[in-house]
Structure 1
Amino acid sequence: MESLWRSATFQAPNPEDYGGIEFWSNPERSGWLTRQGDYIKTWRRRWFVLKQGKLLWFKDSNVSRLSAPRGVIPVSSCLTVKGAEDVLNKPYAFEVSTTQDTMYFIADSEKDKEDWINSIGRSIVQHSRSVTDSEVVDYDLKR
């Protein structure tokens, strides 16, 4: 019953969840993804921004310093990110799993899906509590 109440009365994430992150400028990755809702399992298209270990989403792509995210996932809480076409039976689908939940997303193309998986995966490694900064390798710089 509580989940129905929370879905009916949208509550924006706490600013402490994303404070200090200038999500409106120079994101590591940004773009449209279709996301399955947490409580009511409908699919909604949202603008996603990955920056400084946070995956934030917004209702539209006009993100400014005054924008408030609709949701935030700290990538340090993520365990895996991988394709999920076989799970959802939808093309370009992928999933992000935490210890508590698995969230599903659909990209607009195979390339977008792979780019999001790679970016989120790199961010998981960089922000993992078990990896020190000296152990992080940026594979894009080696190309």
Structure 2
Amino acid sequence: MASLWRAATGQTEKPNDYDGVEFWLNPERTGWLTKQGEYIKTWRRRWFVLKQGKLFWFKDSTVTRGSSPRGVIPVASCLTVKGAEDVLNKQYAFELSTRSDTMYFIADSEKEKEDWINSIGRSIVQHSRSVTDSEVVDYDSNK
């Protein structure tokens, strides 16, 4: 996942302030997912928090101001989020892809998988850098 962060931001280190996102307060979505490690390809269960265009993960579900995320993915750099059961041959699997990397996750149920795909998909659209406010054309303003 670190390579995804580097690829998405051009940074070699993960930030320790997480752009001021208060991940412990009123997240958009939280829950357990199983994710594959970046270097050692084992599957580990992690607590995920989606907030303000960032997907954080932690070792346990007790997330406080003092918690330190194990990793973070800026979803604005992601291109797609979709089911991946056929790719991994695992039930409730989905993938999150950037131009250079693809990460895989496994939810606990079909509903959880769909909820995560929908939430992350919405966040990608909301935080995407492909369309900024200045580039949005209001076709109704000339009427």
Structure 1 unaligned residues grouped into runs of 5+: 4-11, 136-143
Aligned to 1:87: 87
User: Match of 2:121, as an amino acid?
Assistant: G
> Hey, what's the Cα distance between the residues in 1 that align with 2:133 and 2:73?
21
Question: Identity rate of aligned residues, in percent?
Answer: 81
Q: 1:109 to 1:128 in 2, by over 3 A?
A: same
Whole-angstrom distance in 1 between the partners of 2:19 and 2:62: 19
Aligned residue in 1 for 2:123: 123
Find the counterpart in structure 1 of residue 139 from structure 2: none
Structure 1 ranges of 4+ moved more than 4 A: none
Please state how far the C-alpha of 1:108 moved relative to its aligned partner: 0.3
Q: Which has the higher contact order (CA 8 A, sep 6+)?
A: 2
Length, aligned pairs only:
124
CA distance in 2, matches of 1:19, 1:45: 25
C-alpha distance in structure 2 between counterparts of 1:13 and 1:69, whole Å: 10
Counterpart for residue 69 of structure 1 = 69
TM (norm. structure 1) is 0.82
1:138 aligned partner: none
SS in 2 for 1:111: helix
RMSD: 1.8
Partner of 1:140: none
**Partner Cα separation in structure 2 for residue 100 and residue 72 of structure 1:** 16
> 1-side partners of 2:128 and 2:14: how far apart?
22
Trace 1:17-32 onto structure 2 (pairs within 5 A): 18-32=18-32
Q: Deviations over 1:57-110 (max 9, x none)?
A: 000000000001000000011010000000000000000001121000000000
- Distance (Å, rounded) in 1 between the aligned partners of 2:128 and 2:77: 8
Structure 1 contact 53–123 (Cα < 8 Å) conserved? yes
